Amino acid sequence: MNIKYLDDQSLYRVKTALFLLALVPCLQLIFGALSYNLGANPIEKITRTTGYWTLTFLIITLSATPLRRLTGWLWLIRLRRMLGLFTFFYASLHFLTYLVLDQFFDWEGILKDIIKRPYITVGFSSFLLMIPLALTSTNTMIKKLGGKNWRHLHQLTYLAAVGGVIHYWWLVKKDLSNPLSFALILALLFSIRLFYIVKNNNKAKQVSPLKSVCPAANAVQLESPSEEHIKTR
């Protein structure tokens, strides 16, 4: 098997394994709740766990494109949609835990929290940013929006990730090891993205003079494969 290019059967196996692994944190919480094994403060346990896995899956989702560029494994892009939806799944569980178990649908109290507590303000804003990303994750929406508009919209993922890290950082206050790790990984991903932007811009500047001299140079493909060029499933 050529790991750079996976056939449909191999990709199906990878997706199935990834799907099952992504459900493990949720199943652990369910089992812990049923066995009364979530500690002295089960609501806090659920809140912290779902928040942690939201950020984890968000970082993994953002890692798909850099890893594809660094390794040449084009099939990684075809995992990005599933990873993104699991990010939204855990973010929704995180928000619902706060809404239902913590606040008991106290809308006035929730509004006060959003206004007065900065970490909740940032976290709630990040969750709102994820909603249009989840709603436009289908092939139909990609076609309706157009590849360029879709890519521009999904750049909100980076803003949601920054907000998520800040939310986590301000929440824990004392032990910053986990939020710091997320911040460093996110900074690395931004650096890789910036590197390829600069690299592509330099390529464009080098090729532009050729276009004015040789019409055949217009056929040169400058950009690396993107979601629009690679078949998604």
Number of other CB atoms surrounding residue 24 within 10 Å: 10
pTM value is: 0.84
DSSP 130-176: HHHHHHT-SHHHHHHH-HHHHHHHTTHHHHHHHHHHHHHHHHH-S--
CA distance 129 to 95: 13
Residue 206: inside a domain:
no
Confidence label for 174 from pLDDT (cuts 50, 70 and 90):
confident
Q: What is the pLDDT of residue 143?
A: 92
Residue 39: inside a domain:
yes
Query: In the chain, what is the straight-line distance between the N-terminal and C-terminal CA atoms, in Å?
Result: 20
Q: What is the pLDDT of residue 214?
A: 54
> Domain count of the chain?
1
Q: What is the pLDDT of residue 1?
A: 54
**In a 3-state reduction of DSSP, which class is residue 117?**
coil
Residue 209: inside a domain:
no
Residue 228: inside a domain:
no
Confidence label for 210 from pLDDT (cuts 50, 70 and 90):
low
Residue 100: inside a domain:
yes
- Which of 18-27, 64-73, 102-111, 173-182 is the most confident on average? 18-27
With beta carbons less than 8 A apart as the criterion, state whether 161 and 58 touch. Answer: yes
Q: Mean pLDDT over residues 110-133, rounded? A: 94
Q: Residue 201, class by beta-carbon neighbours within 10 Å (0-12 exposed, 13-18 middle, 19+ buried)?
A: exposed
Residue 21: inside a domain:
yes
What is the domain extent for residue 145? 8-193
Residue 205: inside a domain:
no
